[in-house]
């Protein structure tokens, strides 16, 4: 069992009957969805899923996991998702899979958030992983120029065919190659203020539990918020 599969299956153990569960997106979350689907089929687990991308929705349906749209639920009991970086302060960067807008909406509606990662995603400070910024088409070039002036080394996110990637919401992504984010809270506040920025990949003060895959087995770390 690889590390991603290990933490995916471990996280599925936190899902209980009657829960509304946010289902994350990405290569690690894939295994979590697989594990929950297995419990639904083999153990009769009764849950409702709320997905963070069209891709995850297709996967969950194929496994027989009952789904609802986010606007059909009052709240989400638990969301399980991956992360691209987690700092020593348990702040995160997400959006490598271009789903951070939906992921943040789901996370903010959740009573509890679990992140599942392998140990390579743990860092002292955020920033080595490019920070995704989802932007509307109109004026996106102006935002790109602004990020250039700030020295953030922006690049357009492209799809596998080399064309500009379009998110599930029909937007574009600019990745900021900052190297180090010294003040993530300050940066997040500034990005939130920019007209045309739909959402950014800084997930701050939102995770409750981190499950880390190691060669010794999964390590569960509880975060005090």
Annotated binding site: 25-28, 81-84, 94-97, 121
The DSSP code for 137 is S
- Give the chain's count of helices (H) and strands (E): 6, 13
Instruction: Tell me the C-alpha distance between 8 and 63, whole Å.
Output: 15
128 close to 179: Cβ distance less than 8 angstroms: yes
Residue 216, helix vs strand vs coil: coil
115 close to 82: Cβ distance less than 8 angstroms: yes
Is 42 an annotated catalytic residue? no
| Active-site annotation holder among 103, 119, 161, 199 | 103
- The position carrying tokens 């992140």 is 115
Q: Which residues contact 112 (CB under 8 A, 6 or more apart)?
A: 77, 78, 79, 208, 209
The DSSP code for 160 is T
Q: Which residues contact 58 (CB under 8 A, 6 or more apart)?
A: none
Give me the active site residues, please.
103
């Amino acid at each position: 069992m690889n590390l991603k599969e290990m933490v995916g299956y471990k996280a599925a153990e936190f899902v209980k009957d009657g829960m509304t569960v946010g289902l994350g997106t990405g290569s690690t979350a894939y295994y979590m969805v697989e594990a929950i689907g297995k419990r639904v089929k083999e153990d009769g687990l009764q849950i409702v899923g709320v997905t963070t991308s069209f891709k995850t929705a297709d996967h969950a349906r194929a496994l027989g996991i009952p789904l609802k749209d986010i606007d059909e639920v009052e709240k989400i009991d638990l969301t399980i998702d991956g992360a691209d970086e987690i700092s020593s302060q348990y702040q995160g960067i997400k959006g490598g899979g271009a789903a951070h807008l939906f992921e943040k909406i789901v996370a903010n509606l959740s009573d509890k958030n679990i992140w599942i990662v392998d140990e390579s995603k743990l860092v002292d400070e955020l920033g080595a992983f490019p920070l995704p910024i989802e932007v509307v088409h109109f004026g996106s070039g102006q935002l790109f120029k602004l990020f250039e002036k700030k020295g953030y080394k922006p690049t357009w996110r492209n799809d596998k065919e080399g064309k500009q990637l379009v998110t599930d919401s029909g937007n574009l992504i600019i990745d900021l190659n900052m190297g180090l984010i010294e003040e993530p809270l300050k940066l997040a506040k500034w990005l939130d203020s920019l007209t045309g920025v739909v959402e950014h990949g800084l997930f701050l003060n939102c995770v409750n539990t981190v499950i880390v895959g190691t060669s010794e087995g999964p390590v569960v770390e509880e975060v005090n918020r």
